[in-house]
Amino acid sequence: MSAVIESHHGDHHHGPAKGFSRWLYTTNHKDIGSLYLWFSFIMLFVGGAMAMVIRAELFEPGSQIVSPEFYNQMVTNHGLIMVFGVIMPAFVGLANWMIPMQIGAPDMALPRLNNLSFWILPAAFGVLLSTFLMEGGAPNFGWTFYAPLSTEYAPPTVTFFIFSVHIMGASSIMGSINIITTILNMRAPGMTLMKMPLFVWSWLITAYLLIAVMPVLAGAVTMMLMDIHFGTSFFSAAGGGDPVLFQHVFWFFGHPEVYIMILPAFGIVSHIIETFSRKPIFGYSSMVYAIASIALLSFVVWAHHMFTVGMPIAGELFFMYSTMLIAIPTGVKVFNWLSTMFRGSLTFETPMLFAIAFVALFTIGGLSGLMLAIAPADFQYHDTYFVVAHFHYVLVPGALFSIVAAVYYWLPKWTGYMYDEVLGKTHFWLSFISVNLTFFPMHFVGLAGMPRRIPDYAMQFADYNMIVSVGAFLFGLSQLLFLFNVLKCVYYGKSATAEVWEGAKGKGLEWTVDSPAPYHTFETSPDLTKPQTNS
């Protein structure tokens, strides 16, 4: 069907488009999913290179290889690229690939919109990265771009940064509209909402979050633009504005955003754990309610990022307790994953290793988040490396590991070929060891008072920083192994059998064990109108 549609684009009157045109004009959800995934993979190495510059500078105290100014540009762009250019596009790519297949739909509801929402992303990051070549240099005010630093003291390239953020936001909103429309309108007959796979559920909720908060981000950067070019004073105290207003607006977007970056991971990990435990997920409905609760609560906790601005004690209390409340549905999910594995027929293929590491290390990130939620204690942690350790535990062994797990898990389905299991396990162990080597010692230097975003540090932090830098370089190198494994699978992989995973006691395993009933492969849409029997 897509080939027929594509043949009418431009000059392509003779069959489907070939070469670059095929990718430029494609409306096929699998093609677009692949584009998103490759784009985020490329950006992972771009953002990763920036992290390597940061860690090389911090390898020992004193000034090493870059100026403080360039260091700040690295910190800012590393954060922006990893959040908006790696984690989010990768999850959208997985959504594009898997949601139509998991709900029995032929494609996404709005295929042309789907194409547009991808292709404006390379443009957005092209604009952002081009600032490195401009006079004044790239943005240098941190990925949270706090005003008035980002308005009154910023390089002239801040305008390009604002434009870039607008384009990324538009991409997210269009992608989300597409996902919601697809899920609500195109499910197979009989697939009620409470029979949907958990990955589909996690994305339905994430898409609503994105539509709710992306306009808030657009508002924040538009107010910045007005302050810079049109003489307004939204964030300037001298003109009657308020710098703290910026923080409120930014974090009202920013806190739901951090859940946008983890909810799809919950869906992925749920599928992988049930598959390799060979039993349905424990507490399916409680998993759905937990995701929904986390999403709703994410809107009322934003000011926990701002305990140090001098808010009233009542405000501190409200944001402290509401933040701690999020730990409950999150704990429910961890409990359900552990219960799914409990007494299951476990095997430990690469996707399962990444999923188990996710549960363990994401929990560490969650617990340090609970520490940061305690208002009086947060004055000690705020703006130290403890915060860096916390959110990297959630985002690297959390979000990134879940994306890697999903690629290993679904690659045989996508390509028809099997990846190299030995290489996959090697990649896992190198990543697992190096990620902890990199981010665990940050808790220690943070509690001891080492500030974040500073290119130099006191002598007592030297040993830990050296360990962290070695871990970071090892982690970066390990991802080249992942790239090699994916390419090897695509070009030289052995054909995947209908039941890829050899199960315990020789029993094979389906592509995915999904929502409660029905169990099915994706080759045929099941007739869900008949009563289901659980085999």
What residues are labeled active site?
Answer: 78, 107, 143, 171-172, 255, 257, 259, 270, 304-305, 330, 333, 452
DSSP sequence for 4-18: HHHTTSTT--SSS--
Rounded-to-integer distance, Cα 428 and Cα 426, Å: 5
The DSSP H or E segment spanning 495 is strand 494-495
Cα dihedral value 263, 294, 205, 168, nearest 10? -60
Q: Are strands 417-418 and 494-495 parallel, antiparallel or unpaired?
A: antiparallel
Q: How many helices (H) and strands (E) does the chain have?
A: 18, 2
At 282, give phi and psi (nearest 5°). Answer: -80, 125
At 341, give phi and psi (nearest 5°). Answer: -75, -30
Closest CA to 200 of 149, 266, 139: 266
Rounded-to-integer distance, Cα 45 and Cα 42, Å: 5
Task: Report helix, strand or coil for 454.
Answer: coil
Q: Which residues of 83-92 are buried (b: 16+ CB within 10 A; e: fewer)?
A: bbbbbbbbbb
Closest CA to 330 of 388, 370, 276: 370
